[in-house]
Structure 1
Amino acid sequence: MTIRHIQKRGSKALGSEAPKVKMDEGLEEKTETFLKKDKQEWQIESKFNGSKLYGWFTDNESAVTVIMVHGFGVDHNSLNVHAQLFDNLGCNVLQIDDQAAGKSEGKYLGFGYIENLDTLDWIHKLLTERPDDKIVLFGASMGAATVMLTSGYDLPKNVKLIIEDSGYTSAADILSYHCQKRFHIKGKWLIKGISMVSKIRAGFSYKQTDCKQALAKNKLPVLFMHGKNDFTVPFEMRDELSTGGKFEKTVYESLGVHIRSYYIDSKKYQQVVENF
């Protein structure tokens, strides 16, 4: 197990293919309708390593834009059904491909660290194009870790809310969980060794992916959303994340698996998001 296996494009280090879950009635049709809408292709250059990154902007002539950050080993299309939700609520939607995902360049996945620096670049890009927009950051799984890490910075006043769905506490914690679950080893020293290699090759160590540490500095309201049957990121991590820091918090739970709460509990999920 090396950094090439764990952090490469399309890595399955956090699990196999996403579980097939039947969506609530109407979600597939609404998502298909959303995908037919016109989208502007945007491009930025990562200040972290110069990679060209791509995003797709759906303009609803709204004063609110949701920046959507996908998870580990997938691309922006993995959140199309969630993008449809925000589109349905009348928001503009900016779906991005992270480093080493989809159309974007990049050699290594960053467990949220590289991605959170790139998210700052996307915020700057959005405000260059639309300086008066209010911004909501939405992330799922590694994307959830990304937006939580981003919360630790002094963000522009335009950024108003953060929504994390199925996020983990840190790279070391989630890899340790999978080592024990899948390989029945603690893997502490193995993870430390890979973290050191990551620092040399990818430019960051796993210590820089501590979401609890970032949330301790956060001042924005955060909505924590997790499914109780999530075996990719254990449900208990939600409570670890939501009990620290001094900021406004809302928590939501379902009986869903990883990033699938909206699929099976769409009415309540949408209601909670809309109220938040």
Structure 2
Amino acid sequence: MLNVRLPSPVVELHDERLTAAGVRVLLKRDDLVHPEVPGNKWRKLKYNVPLAVSAGTLLTFGGAYSNHLRAVAAAGHHYGFNTIGVVRGEEHLPLNPSLAYAVSRGMHLTYLDRATYRAKTSPLVLDRLHQEFGDFHLLPEGGGNPAAVRGCAELLAELAEPYDILLCAVGTGTTLAGLTTGSQPTIGVPVLKASLEDDIVALQQTAFGERVGDWRLLAGYHFGGYAKRTPVLDAFIDDFVSRHGLALDWVYEAKMMYALFDQVRQGAFSTGTTIVALIN
């Protein structure tokens, strides 16, 4: 069993740029939920864990540096089910730290070439995986399924202090799909170039039967695409650490927080606005 820290803490971000704009920012520190299965990783897995325990094995997908694979491997170790990680691309030895950690937690790794990986949800590829590994609980890449959406939606009940806008980074869109069930508007900052709105709507339709909530995507802050970075983003991260003592994850949260401060600079939020920013 995992000893998770819930509710995760909410702390105010004190910054003269926010004060000058009359904007208040609260950080929802979901990164502190658990050191091995932090934030939305735990929320996505919460209702998938019983299904994996029942099946005995959980199979999921990810890139060579996937934090999702690390979290799934840790969950399998703590809850006693087998984990299989289907990795995009060819095997490279020695394993990088992410995959080495997953293996240390008992995950079996298998690899698909990039063309086959793009068709990973097709019946042909899934049948092949079932033939090789038998029965398993299938968890999509990034953990995006109705059970994960339901887990992410539970975060809203932890926000006791009034706020006007909820802000989160968007990868697969699963977290945003759950967070939009609240009464306040939600803004998602995509960290990759691809259009994600249809994917988020599809997740909501599967989980809730329809598109729900007041939400929108704030594009233009992907810094070149998924897991891409630029000197501008790196300088923002360094400045944020020096100001606030918090090292932002450059794949997700740094892009979200850069977008927030850029929008504040542009006057996008009216005086008196309180924003909750989700740190995973």
Shorter-chain TM band:
0.3 to 0.5
Bigger relative contact order, structure 1 or 2, given CA contacts below 8 A and separation 6+?
2
Name the TM-score, length of structure 2 as normaliser. Answer: 0.35
Of structures 1 and 2, the larger Rg is shown by 2
